[in-house]
């Protein structure tokens, strides 16, 4: 660089940074601040009984409603301040326990992640004095995760392509002879494999353990008709809205926005594959007492109802439906009418196969 200075020719770094100078300086400051924030919890460990809790959130609409329904009321009642860290990162949870530096104390995990986190000893068992599983509803605590809210992987399609009665089941979704058109599914093994088995005629109660050979044979059949595998929530919405694909398996929370916008689409709740978000507390965090108080608060009927409704999640605590008007409740995955035709993913049953099917799916998709 000294040479270039002498000759007066600008190096690429200089050319770029001259234009992006402000940004890189600001991002440096942000990095430095993040670094400082990262080390803060350890420094604060010495201070007894601190009134603060760090929650890992999904940001955006999720965080907005969590703030309204959960964080603000909790702070008001307990005096414990909640600071958020976004986005949710499973890898960070693992890194925290490994390094002993805690950026967040509480996070949410899906079914597949919960199994893995429990296996890798990343999350703590409930403090029974604060959150007693026996005092919640049956099945509230699984593998040390506390069930919070559910989202359905439902089938949706364009009306002009498949007029009534349209697609009724995943078998119909797979039947491209009878229902020709493009398809789309999420690039996520834990949800797609159960769907593939249902499409192949496996009874919902016979799903586990997953018959992987049969699942991949079934997936081979649909593969040529899948135009794209979606990976981001908003992307799935855009694909269906713009008619980029004719039929898609996507989250009920995302498709609900299209229903509200009166898009010409139909949503089928039949055979919805329901995934559950669990609250989990990072193992070894110095603020575990506050963390469990918060988790206990977050699954109480009233705050949970308020939180779930905003994003069209299904509350896992059945009592929450007492606080939800019926016409709204009918659109939620855990509403008894919807729930009884759904298949709920079970972390304990999926755990033994997770590594195998994730790897196999990744390679299958790229082949």
| Contact region with other proteins (CB under 8 A), list: 15-23, 258-266, 275-283, 340-348 | 15-23
Binding mask 109-128 for other proteins (x = CB under 8 A): ---x---x---x--------
For residues 112 and 255, which CB has a smaller minimum distance to other proteins in the complex? 112
CB 292, CB 127: distance < 8 Å: yes
Q: How far apart are CA 35 and CA 38, in angstroms?
A: 5
The tokens describing 148, both together, are 């919070």
For residue 151, which of 243, 53, 252 has the smallest C-alpha distance? Answer: 252
- Smallest separation, CB 202 to other proteins (Å): 24
Q: Which of 63, 211, 244, 346 binds other proteins (CB under 8 A)?
A: 244
Tell which one of 101, 217, 229, 260 touches other proteins (CB under 8 A). 229
- Single residue of 49, 213, 242, 326 touching other proteins by CB under 8 A: 242
Q: With CB under 8 A, what is the number of residues at the site for other proteins? A: 42
CB of 123 to other proteins, least distance (A): 12
Rounded-to-integer distance, Cα 250 and Cα 184, Å: 9
Angle among Cα 159, 160, 166 to the nearest 5 degrees reads: 45
**Which residues within the stretch 179-198 sit at the binding site for other proteins (CB under 8 A)?**
187
Residues from 345 through 364 that contact other proteins (CB under 8 A)? 355, 358-359, 362-363
Taking phi over 0 as left and psi of -120 to 50 as alpha, with beta for the rest, 190 belongs to: alpha
What gap in Å lies between CA 108 and CA 147, rounded to an integer? Answer: 9
Closest CB 223 distance from other proteins, rounded Å: 9
Residue 187 or 310: which CB sits closer to other proteins?
187
Q: Which residues of 319-341 are buried (b: 16+ CB within 10 A; e: fewer)?
A: ebbebbeeeebebbbbbeebbee
4 versus 72: smaller Cβ distance to other proteins: 4
Q: Which of 8, 138, 165, 325 binds other proteins (CB under 8 A)?
A: 8
Binding map of other proteins across residues 64-103, x = CB under 8 A, - = no contact:
-------------------------xxx--x---------
Q: What is the distance between the alpha carbons of residues 133 and 23, in angstroms, rounded to a whole number? A: 49
Would you say 334 and 316 are in contact if contact means Cβ atoms under 8 Å apart?
Answer: yes
Tell me the C-alpha distance between 198 and 97, whole Å: 37
Contacts to other proteins by CB under 8 A? 1, 3-4, 7-12, 14-16, 19-20, 31, 89-91, 94, 112, 116, 120, 187, 226-229, 231-232, 235, 238, 242-244, 355, 358-359, 362-363, 365-367
């Amino acid at each position: 660089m000294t040479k270039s200075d002498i000759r007066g020719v600008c190096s690429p770094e200089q050319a770029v940074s001259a234009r992006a100078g402000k940004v890189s300086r600001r991002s440096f400051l942000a990095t430095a601040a993040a670094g400082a924030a990262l080390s803060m919890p350890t420094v604060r460990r010495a201070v007894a009984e601190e009134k603060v809790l760090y929650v890992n959130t999904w940001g955006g609409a999720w965080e907005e409603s969590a703030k309204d329904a959960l964080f603000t009321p909790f702070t008001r009642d307990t005096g414990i301040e909640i600071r958020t860290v976004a986005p949710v990162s499973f890898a960070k949870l693992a890194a925290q326990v490994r390094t002993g530096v805690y950026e967040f104390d509480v996070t949410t995990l899906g079914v597949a992640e919960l199994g893995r986190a429990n296996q890798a000893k990343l999350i703590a068992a409930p403090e029974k004095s604060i959150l007693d599983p026996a005092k919640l509803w049956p099945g509230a605590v699984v593998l040390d995760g506390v069930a919070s809210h559910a989202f359905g992987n439902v089938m949706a399609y364009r009306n002009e392509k498949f007029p009534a009665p349209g697609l009724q089941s995943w078998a119909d979704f797979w039947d491209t002879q009878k229902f020709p058109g493009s398809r789309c599914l999420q690039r996520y093994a834990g949800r797609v494999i159960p769907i593939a088995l249902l499409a192949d005629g496996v009874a919902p109660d016979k799903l586990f353990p997953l018959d992987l050979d049969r699942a991949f044979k079934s997936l081979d059949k649909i593969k040529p008709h899948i135009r794209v595998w979606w990976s981001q929530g908003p992307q799935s919405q855009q694909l269906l809205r713009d008619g980029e694909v004719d039929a898609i398996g996507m989250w009920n929370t995302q498709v609900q926005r299209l229903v509200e916008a009166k898009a010409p689409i139909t949503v089928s709740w039949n055979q919805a594959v329901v995934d559950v978000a669990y609250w989990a507390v990072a193992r070894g965090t110095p603020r575990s007492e506050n963390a469990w108080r918060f988790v206990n608060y977050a699954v109480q009927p009233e705050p949970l109802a308020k939180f779930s409704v905003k994003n069209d999640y299904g509350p896992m605590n059945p009592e929450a439906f007492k606080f939800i008007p019926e016409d709204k409740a009918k659109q939620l995955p855990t509403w008894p009418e919807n729930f009884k035709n759904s298949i709920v993913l079970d972390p304990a049953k999926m755990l033994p196969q997770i590594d195998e099917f994730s790897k196999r799916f990744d390679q299958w998709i790229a082949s």
